[in-house]
Amino acid sequence: MNLKDIVKKGLYKKIVLSIFVLATIITSLQSILSGSVSIVGDVVEYCSYNNYIIFKQSFFHLINYQDLYTYYPGEHWDLFKYTPTFAAFFGLFALLPDYLGLFLWNLLNTIVFFVAIMSLPKLSSNQKLLILLFSFVEFFTSIQNEQSNAIMAGLIILSFNMLEKRNYLIATLMIVISIFIKLFGFVAILLIIFYPKKLKLGLLSLMWFSFFLIVPLLIIDINQYLLLFKSYINMLSHDYNISYGYSVMGWLYTWFGVLVNKYVLIIIAAVLLFAPLLKTGNFSNYYFRLIILTSLLIWLVIFNHKAESPTFIIAMAGASIWFVSSDKSDLNIVLFILAIIFTSLSPTDLFPQIIREKYTIPYSLKVFPMILIWIKINFDIYYNKYLIPEA
């Protein structure tokens, strides 16, 4: 059986899904079996799957009326930075043995991401396969770190897919879930502007938001809930000033020594993100809506001052969707090759350690191709170079 027959019979879906699930099993086992690790500058050794422990312990902190947003050096390194609702739902995993809870958490990320890509409308089987393959390294990095970024990418893409199918109930559910995982999911609400029955979409969003907002009250009382929100806001306000991450801010600083006011840059970035929405005459074109989705996915990462390597599954998914659905001009090909090399591969062991330590990390090379691609996407939007006639 040749590749053409495999694609024709739909076997590639099972093959690719098997690869993703196998990667999930391998990374989960690797995390469980790796033992403890030392954090630089700290004599305490922490569990190798530290991020999962942070999520897990947040549930126990919640039910024990403890502050979610303070350090617990005896349990894990770093802070919990998610909502109380996320902590409540993570009890589904926290109550299980670590080896099972960790695997199921990673598997949930895998399935949501895979289903999101496979359900993208109007893209061929080959295009979806390429998106999954191009995104694989970043996907692997995300679940290797027990992160929530694959599920975030999947939820935002799924919300777009469901909006296209006019399944507004599920579309708004996906958006609101993403918000209660990471607050930047709020940006996905801009997708709603493209579709009819905006009042219905708004009411459904409000309904889901209200539901998830009150979930923690099934576990704690209102006074504790208010204290947690106060602590949450305090943590976010202090967290915002700590670092630039792999972002536009980090790139400007490491390349040019330019210290940009983050608030000013975010305002400019928001204007650039929303500006294409002035082209209301193009709302009816599917490829306009699709390229806005890709712009949003990349924007969420490159303007995130806390973006880390595992965050880039979100941006790489957006870049991959853009590339497979765009004109294969020389410039587009070069930009995407740069993304494969510097965004996906440069932080891995495929690059010599000396290069990673002297250039890749200090000069934020991981984010640079994504910045270029985002600029190119916006250029295409401005000049209508993405528009493909619809039947």
Q: Is 119 exposed, middle or buried (0-12, 13-18, 19+ CB in 10 A)?
A: middle
Please check whether residues 156 and 253 belong to one and the same domain. Answer: no
Please check whether residues 209 and 65 belong to one and the same domain. Answer: yes
Rounded Cα–Cα distance for residues 391 and 388 (Å): 10
Q: What pTM, to 2 d.p., does this model score?
A: 0.93
Domain tally, the chain = 2
pLDDT of residue 34: 85
Q: Tens of pLDDT along 142-188?
A: 999 999 999 999 999 999 999 999 999 999 999 999 999 999 899 99
Domain boundary, last residue among 222, 239, 256: 239
pLDDT of residue 370: 97
Please check whether residues 173 and 28 belong to one and the same domain. Answer: yes
Q: Tens of pLDDT along 38-68?
A: 554 555 678 889 999 999 999 999 999 999 9
Please check whether residues 41 and 65 belong to one and the same domain. Answer: yes
Residue 391 has pLDDT above 50, yes or no: no
Please check whether residues 132 and 248 belong to one and the same domain. Answer: no
Beta strand spans in the chain (E): 36-38, 45-47
Q: Tally the residues of the chain.
A: 391
Please check whether residues 115 and 249 belong to one and the same domain. Answer: no
Which of 241, 243, 255, 289 shows the shortest CA–CA distance to 371? 255
Rounded Cα–Cα distance for residues 25 and 23 (Å): 5
Please check whether residues 219 and 251 belong to one and the same domain. Answer: no
Please check whether residues 189 and 271 belong to one and the same domain. Answer: no
Give the DSSP letter of residue 148. S
Q: Which residue has the tokens 């359900």?
A: 119
pLDDT of residue 22: 96
Please check whether residues 246 and 234 belong to one and the same domain. Answer: no
